[in-house]
Structure 1
């Protein structure tokens, strides 16, 4: 690994810290849930320590400082303009989406998603007694694209669409043309669009994502939680230029109690966006290098598994179709045989059943350990099958 200013090499023992990733199931090498095994940026640690030094941790208001950090970040990095009056604070992207579903749709309405996609999209729709309507992505020659004819038809039956940009789990950045066509179809069918852009900063070096313009019936959900590994502070925003939609969402989030602020959130977010840009850019270099390690390892040691090329997120989508084993069975075998936990592709939609999702946001020592266990597990599985 190249020399870096920050520490992306130390393997940190996260066991017995109430870590969802490491403590919930107790696997030896958990590479499933989307958080990182790196230390956060020093500026964030320092800001939290400074706030913690004050001995009172009472109810907290959301100051303009937090919103300005978002505004400056998106203006500086993406030339995306936001105004304070068009923003709402929320404890997280998924709580925001849940509130939006409740205030803008009715029980029994169809909500469109593009599968394979983040599995919690299914839960948040179904748990609110709405119906999932899928616009399956087309997988050809190792890459994904949108079936716009199907999207046109399905949007005519939908009340709301949830877009993932960049897309989890396939790591694809939707092009400006793709976003424009999606926006045109949503306007055609009077469908409100939620754009979940939580992975937007985690692109390959030199690559930028394309923000969805939050005009008309478009609502954007943003958070630093993935980019800076601070999901535990539960902080995000909702942005839309549609004043009527914003007011309805604001009222619903208040009813849902999802608009309160963690006492450390402002310090963490401000330190991330204002003082940790260099850390993020080094992180992107490290993640890209990790991606190349996986790509080379699969080609040399495990060619039966194909890496789906991607340009964003630290989540790799592994094509395991040549194994002809259901993804739940494959994921379960890797856990029981090797203590390696990768996400089963079927969790992201029926068209994901030939795949596994692998989180590579970890030091290279841990990444290579995971790859070795993957190879050993696949070898053991083939012996059993044969």
Structure 2
């Protein structure tokens, strides 16, 4: 393991903190939901403690300071310059998408997503009375690609497409060429394109994601919540150059009461983007080492499971097709037999049923424990199935 200035190896006990990951299901080792078991960057902790010392926690406005932090971050990290007038505040990416579904589509409309994809996309569409239309990604030779012929045909049937860039759960950074082609097809069919880019900072060292903002017909959802492990502060923005769409979105988010600001959010966000860049870059190194650890372990100890190659996020997509067991059955068996909770691939779409999703954003001690439990669970299942693999 490489030396780091910040501590990414100490295990922090998160039990009894009303923690969704560790307290809700009471599993021994939860490696499912997308939050990290690392301490936040020191600058963020310092900023929160400073704000907490002021003993009044009333209603809070969203200051320009917060938007300036976003603008500076995207400019220096990705070479994209945003304008304040093109941005709107929201309590989260999924609340933003929910509001956009309500104000830019009608009940009964189909909305296109690319499965396997973040499971909440399915819920937010269906819970708003719309229908899911899937442009299933093509999985060949261990890699995913877009079926553009199918995408072209299905975009003719919808008003909205929701893109995930980088893509969760497959961890793929979409190329500039892929993004340009998606943008062209959405323009061709007059489709509103929403891009969830919440994992954009979590790329392999030396790799950078390609902002969808280069397209002139996209609405982008951004947040530091995954990159800096501050999802509990519920803070994000929506960005688009289309003023007409932005005005509609702002109105809907106000109706939905999703445009208010947590009293600590500005402190957390500004400290993340302005003062925690070194921490993030060290984190990316740690996550890459964890991924290589998993890859080596599977190759040497558990070759029946294969790691799908990826270049972003801390969520690994594991190809378990050789096990010949439905992902929900496999996931539940690992929980009951080993106390290990990995996400069942079918939650991300029917074409994800041969896979499990594994969160590796944790100290090495927990990762090693998780891999050992995974192997033990597969061995136990194979014994029950009388050596089918």
- TM-score for the superposition, normalised by structure 2: 0.99
Counterpart residue number, 1:352? 352
* Cα offset, 1:217, TM superposition: 2.8
RMSD of aligned residue pairs (Cα, Å): 0.5
Alignment of 1:190-209 (within 5 A): 190-209=190-209
SS of equivalent to 1:55: coil
- More displaced, 347-356 or 212-221? 212-221
Counterpart residue number, 2:364? 364
Alignment of 1:276-295 (within 5 A): 276-295=276-295
Q: Distance in 1 between matches of 2:129 and 2:214?
A: 27
Are 1:267 and 2:247 matched, yes or no?
no
Q: Distance in 2 between matches of 1:107 and 1:45?
A: 43
SS of equivalent to 2:136: coil
Asked if structure 2 preserves the Cα contact closer than 8 Å seen for 1:214 and 1:220, the reply is no
SS of equivalent to 1:133: strand
Q: Distance in 2 between matches of 1:145 and 1:40?
A: 34
- The CA deviation string for residues 280-334 of structure 1, in whole angstroms up to 9 with x for no partner, is 0000000000000000000000000000000000000000000000000000000
Counterpart residue number, 1:341? 341
- TM-score for the superposition, normalised by structure 1: 1.00
Q: Distance in 2 between matches of 1:246 and 1:189?
A: 20
Q: Distance in 2 between matches of 1:70 and 1:270?
A: 8
- Residue ranges of structure 2 left out of the alignment (5+ in a row): none
Counterpart residue number, 2:33? 33
- The CA deviation string for residues 213-254 of structure 1, in whole angstroms up to 9 with x for no partner, is 265431000000000000000000000000000000000000
Alignment of 1:179-190 (within 5 A): 179-190=179-190
Are 1:43 and 2:52 matched, yes or no?
no
Counterpart residue number, 1:176? 176
Counterpart residue number, 2:61? 61
SS of equivalent to 1:132: strand
Alignment of 1:249-268 (within 5 A): 249-268=249-268
Number of residue-to-residue matches in the alignment:
386
Asked if structure 1 preserves the Cα contact closer than 8 Å seen for 2:112 and 2:132, the reply is yes
Counterpart residue number, 1:308? 308
Alignment of 1:44-123 (within 5 A): 44-123=44-123
SS of equivalent to 2:220: strand
Asked if structure 2 preserves the Cα contact closer than 8 Å seen for 1:215 and 1:241, the reply is no
Q: Distance in 2 between matches of 1:215 and 1:5?
A: 38
Asked if structure 1 preserves the Cα contact closer than 8 Å seen for 2:180 and 2:215, the reply is no
SS of equivalent to 1:213: helix
Asked if structure 2 preserves the Cα contact closer than 8 Å seen for 1:215 and 1:240, the reply is no
Q: Distance in 1 between matches of 2:2 and 2:283?
A: 12
Asked if structure 2 preserves the Cα contact closer than 8 Å seen for 1:221 and 1:239, the reply is yes
Are 1:161 and 2:161 matched, yes or no?
yes
Query: What stretches of structure 1 move > 4 A for 4+ residues in a row?
Result: none
Asked if structure 2 preserves the Cα contact closer than 8 Å seen for 1:337 and 1:377, the reply is yes
SS of equivalent to 1:179: helix
Q: Distance in 1 between matches of 2:229 and 2:102?
A: 29
Asked if structure 2 preserves the Cα contact closer than 8 Å seen for 1:316 and 1:360, the reply is yes
- Residue ranges of structure 1 left out of the alignment (5+ in a row): none
